[in-house]
Amino acid sequence: MAKKADGQARIHDQTLTRGNGGELHQVAEGDTPVLTTAQGGPVADDQNTLRVGARGPSLIEDFHFREKIFHFDHERIPERVVHARGYGAHGFFETYESLAQYTRADVFQRAGEKTPAFVRFSTVAGSKGSTDLARDVRGFAVKIYTKEGNWDIVGNNIPVFFIQDAIKFPDLIHSVKPEPDRGFPQAQSAHDNFWDFISLTPESMHMIMWVMSDRAIPRSFRFMEGFGVHTFRFLNANDETTFVKFIWKPKLGLQSVVWNEAVKISGADPDFHRRDLWDAIQSGNYPEWELCVQLFDQQFADVFDFDILDATKIIPEEVIKPLPVGRLVLDRMPENFFFETEQVAFMTQNVPPGIDFSNDPLLQGRNFSYLDTQLKRLGSTNFTHLPINAPKCPFHHFQQDGHMAMRNPTGRANYQPNSWGEGPREQPSRGFRSNTSVEEGPKVRLRAESFADHYSQARQFYKSQTPPEQNHIAAAITFELSKVETPVIRERVVAHLRNIDEGLARTVGGKLGLKKMPEPADAAVKTRTDLPPSSALSIIGNGPKSFMGRKLGVLVADGSDGALLDAVQAAAAEEGATVELVAPKVGGFTAADGTAVAAKHMIDGGPSVLFDAVVLLLAEDGGAQLAKEAAARDFVADAFAHCKFIGYTAGAAALLEKAAIPPSADEGLIVLDSAKSAAAFLKACRTLRVWSREPDVKL
């Protein structure tokens, strides 16, 4: 049961002391400069915003948080401080059934109604010019233009976050951005500053498990989930409230790449995710997600194992099954990238009547921060005048003038109340109403006791992964820490890992060459080992069972069998997959029957990392010739190393031999000699990877 906040809640400073073995207080107080505001005022607590009681809402009078987040929001021009590299598309949201019993939000009142939407996907840490395949959280921000105002679900592809209180957000992002004295590394967390912050912030360990998993290197925007992260509220017409968490489920299933593949994709096509979304929509294969909600009441919140206001925690889907309530379809690209994708402004506080906030301190801080961000980035309080940000429903207010005003109130009265009968008026029956909760408690800077368990759900996530995914997490943490130059930081992280899983900690510690294992980090709350694995947390365990929406790369050369190529393309079309031809020359090849066939890629520019599976459709002469080409050998070797399915003809034997791949290596190498075998190969590709191969290739 989640503990109630009370007068015994620990000051976060004390939590860190006990949670990290005293690392934060090793320097004598008298020798340490006092943290101050920009005005020189000493700061007593830099870990928690001022709120009403340990679990109450944040207070606007918190001048230290206001100054800190204000400065952070204005650090960059003109690109976003975070989520700078993004890509967007238009579409619609369609409601399945009325949710009037839970919410009066207009978008959920009528079954089958379609509402315009715009979605922006992004990475978090990198600049606008960084690569799509950096290991990072992916932003998943949805703007739904409802009939009662814009609703922004400003989420990520990971359901938890690094921190519990928004006052720490500038510190988190400063730590992961390029180190200020050298300006690198770009779009990477594999450096001392980030891991120093993480090693001193145990609340981040659940998020670290997610970010070091395959969730942080998705194959496509189309194949990843989205989460609202926080707990929100639904309010119905009677102002009855229900807690809600939002989840986007991709119709095409989950899929990621492996790290070695991500590195090579970044070199071959740094715009890989952008190109994938563009190609899918332009070809009419519109990406689709289901919006699912987890609904629960105060009674559940009181008895759940963890605090529902803690953004570093999830409610497992086995505990509350997500309810599908609508679908999101993306069917149109912007006409101009800058005008729409770059200028779109999302804000967590954009909610229509019927949707309200919880006291989650991270959400409360985001609500406070985003308006500053848009003012700085878009240059004017009138950013809502931009078409991409303007509501599509009627709107009326008295706001006027300002930089770049494109509309102003008309008539004599630009205020209310007025005697002229002009202008809009508030309407209590239709307007936004907040949940009328009773808040009481002292004005304090506290972290609630119920937020103190930092390891149990991290362990649950790790234990929920399949063996290949667990290996990927260990390899990712090892790689990242191998780039950390300060030994004590590496040791502190391993000490935290011992509270999550001893095997994981020893694997990482061994690969880092630690002479002895550090003691487990002091934990404010002992790690629970009784939380059951959640199958919903595994990507491999939730594979698509289909090759729909995927891409097949077919390596061809002069003399390739045109009829067999037709059979492969027909089988791929039956599966809903795309076929792209890769040839020695960009002009294409001449098939065995003399037909000239165009190709999409030249072999040097079409490596196998761009595809989900490959076919080596070669005649003997073509196979022998390509066996001499380094790019062709890499095409085959990488596909094998990345555990992809490989279909091949007898003529590819020389190329397979040069790539050191036995034709009968495993079930993922399939001979193609007929239309029937082509269909069987595409059906085999539905599982996407041959994970049994991975221990042998040892990537």
Q: Backbone phi, then psi, for 617, in 5-degree steps? A: -100, 85
Confirm if 357 and 233 have CB atoms less than 8 A apart: yes
Q: Backbone phi, then psi, for 297, in 5-degree steps? A: -110, 180
Residue 569, CA distances (Å) to 500, 578, 682 in order: 47, 8, 10
Instruction: Please pick, among 48, 150, 156, 350, the residue that the annotation labels catalytic.
Output: 156
CA distance 150 to 346: 10
Q: Is 401 helix (H, G, I), strand (E, B) or coil?
A: coil
Instruction: Locate 432 and state its tokens.
Output: 């936004």
Cβ neighbours of 398 (radius 10 Å):
13
CA distance 186 to 127: 7
Active site residue 601: no
Instruction: Locate 693 and state its tokens.
Output: 């191969």
Cβ neighbours of 646 (radius 10 Å):
26
Instruction: Please pick, among 12, 20, 48, 83, the residue that the annotation labels catalytic.
Output: 83
Active site residue 471: no
Instruction: Locate 667 and state its tokens.
Output: 């079930």
Residue 83, CA distances (Å) to 177, 526, 613 in order: 12, 35, 31
Provide the residue type at 326 as one letter.
G
Which residues are CB-contacts of 339 (< 8 A; sequence separation ≥ 6)?
Answer: 387, 388
Helix 259-268 to helix 272-282 angle (10° resolution) is 80
Which residues are CB-contacts of 183 (< 8 A; sequence separation ≥ 6)?
Answer: none
**Strand 613-616 relative to strand 646-648, pairing:** parallel
The burial class, CB within 10 Å (0-12 / 13-18 / 19+), for 696 is exposed
Q: What is the dihedral of CA 147, 149, 155, 159, to 10 degrees?
A: -70
CA distance 296 to 316: 13
Tell me the residue ranges of DSSP E strands in 584-659. 589-590, 596-597, 601-602, 613-616, 646-648
Instruction: Locate 697 and state its tokens.
Output: 């290739």
Q: What is the DSSP string of 219-265?
A: S-GGG--EE--S-EEEE-TT--EEEEEEEEEETT---B--HHHHHHH
Instruction: Locate 324 and state its tokens.
Output: 């599908």
Instruction: Locate 581 and state its tokens.
Output: 């031809």
Provide the residue type at 654 as one letter.
A
Which residues participate in catalysis according to the annotation? 83, 156
